[in-house]
Structure 1
Amino acid sequence: MKFPHAFLAFALGAVLAAGPARAVDLSMVSGDTGVGQKVLREILDQYEKKTGNKVTVVPMPPSTTDQFGQYRLWLAAGNSDIDVYQTDVIWAPQLASQLVDLTEATKDVVGAHFPQIIQSQTVDGKLVALPIFTDAPALYYRKDLLDKYGVKLPATWAELADTAKLVMDKERAAGNKDIWGFVFQGNAYEGLTCDALEWVMSNGGGQIVEPDGTISINNPKAAAALEMARGWVGTISPPGVLAYQEEESRGVWQTGNAVFMRNWPYAYSLGESEGSPIKGKFDVTTLPPGSGEGARPAATLGGWNLAVSKYSKNPDAAIELVKWIASPEMQKYRALNASYLPTIQALYDDADIARKQPVIPRWKEVFLNAVPRPSAQAKVRYNEVSSQFWTAVHKTISGEGTAADNLADLEVSLTKLKGAAW
């Protein structure tokens, strides 16, 4: 359904009705990539014009690992300079004690969001962050090149490797010496946890730590998935992929130098922007499954939220800012201008979004394969669990030891961590 203008005006009016009477200065942190920072600034400009308040954005490095480390330092120090934090979906259990409970202030708006996303930000019955967009990765592919060589979309990871090499070799033979078959996020950071969880889950290798707390990562199917990925490096993927995060992957892809890419939704609108070498030449589909029993497609659930620091000097104004950015109109604005996926359910049926960003309604299929990282199981120790996992994965795909040995060592480390804290 399309939101009528009257509804949007009413919704935003309600958001601001309880706002502060006097203008205040607020600050928020954001690690948005691509056009995300620009679109956020435009949203904040509209807010400032409407309220008279001023909002300063403190930019963060694109690495979520670096962002989380800085957040913990600021919050541990009781920093009152930051009012609003933009938080990853996995951080709620770890930061909850230092964030404002938004339950009462948002009771008029939470019903419009996907319930599972609201639940992910609820800790001990308290809503500690309000979602502003959600995320799940997909497989980007050069449809023009697949058509050129008469090949179909790969049905498994193994087929992807074969197809990527076939097209890469033919393109290089035709003079395109810089092209690679597949780019992904191979750096040692949270992004590699996401990529590797998909390889392992799609191969029937489990969720690292299962919902009941069982440490499951040390198994042959998980090891096979990581050995598969090791085989990509230097063959269909550039050696430099071991240092790639999202933007490095997109940089190779958008210059036309990759056949396939694993990345998040934000890369779609950038690829289709004016002047992009691949505009009109690519499409997206779900990530493929592995092979054999238990194989299934898997896409790591992502997403970003806004939380109010309990050390904020202007918590009421900060809450109203959060509600403004998370409102239906602003989520629609972000979707239209940056192809970010809304957390407002009705926006997936919005005619304007379907017309300008047709990929967004199609992302529903990707969400069917979404899997969470084990943050609910590991709670405040999730960052350590993830760090140990991505370290073992990075060692494996870099050729430092076998997957079986690295996962055996990982199991020992996670077992010690669980015994100490879970």
Structure 2
Amino acid sequence: MNLKKAGFSTRAVHAGQGPCPVTGALSTPIYQTSTFVFQNVDQGAARFAGEEEGYIYTRLGNPTVAAFEEKIAVLEGGEAGLAFSSGMAAISAVLFALTKQRDHIVSCDTIYGCTHAFMSSILPRYGIETTFVDLSDPEKGAAALRPNTKVIYLETPANPTMKLVNIAAMVELARQVGARVVIDNTFATPYLQRPLELGADVVVHSATKYIGGHGDVIAGVAVGSKEFIDEVRVTTLKDIGGVLGPFEAWLLLRGLKTFPLRMEKHCANAMEVAAFLEAHPAVERVYYPGLPSHPQHDLAKKQMQGGFGGMISFELKGGLEAGKQLMNSLELCSLAVSLGDTETLIQHPASMTHSPYPPEERLKAGITDGLVRLSVGIEDAADIIADLKQGLDGLLG
């Protein structure tokens, strides 16, 4: 069966996996090995020279990891995937592969805090400069371009403000200067949005989040053309490290089999929770692309298919102190960073995930002291809402 033509759920279950050719085992084996034995010296030499396909050493490739890489590439609509030990390992490897000294990156100003820190603190040590700009306005993106711009980098929806960027517009801008478009698709996932089909060059994920989905693995992945992925594998992955282990890859394979079911529930729950929050008198503003009140709701309907994701951010009328009181009073929702887990998680971006931002840049990006981020889980929506309601009602006095 041609899985590329199959439905998304079928691909999530079957892509990259089949019965073990030796034992017939239905579940992909965990090849928990560091190295692989050659039949003879000539075979070892041929594999190192790239003249024969096959495994050498798990830092260069592993059958369990390869199954995950193939599955996520099929789901994203890319030619090849490359797994990493974390989302930041994937992001840093991709950016190092695409840039060199005196190159320039244009990035959206609202991104994950550690990504911002990498671009603003680590890359400058290697002579690579980043301009942070509001890419939801294509004119601002165009104004930031330079002849030496090599990458346009963005998250859409953005973490944590849920701001969207028009992917097709960024692709058009990038082509003007020969830059590559790299998109962190962690929030949307390929279930809702496939940037490569819209012209992007590389997609990265923190696979820790929705792809794994169970809060039990740290991982990252990049998807793009086979030529680019092969280049990253034998350069920044091989020489810097950040390799995903076989057991972690197996956990991701297991998680992806229920990925469409989980995403459907995440999206349905988030829509109900967002509507509840928007109507509650203690809430000042809700940021969720599925709400008609979201300023880019029309773009979300065009760019995202099958839902609007499980992430919500909101501000309370009482600001930071009200946010603290709410988060400390919740019983079902867990006060924890990360996202995309089966459990509902709530956290304070300004003091937690986005604390690496300089305060003035954080505020400019819309990450206020009173902003609360909610990763809606797959519990019963009524129970999530009941927990939020008791906490919010307590703010009304």
TM-score calculated relative to the size of structure 2: 0.31
Greater share of helix: 1
TM-score calculated relative to the size of structure 1: 0.29
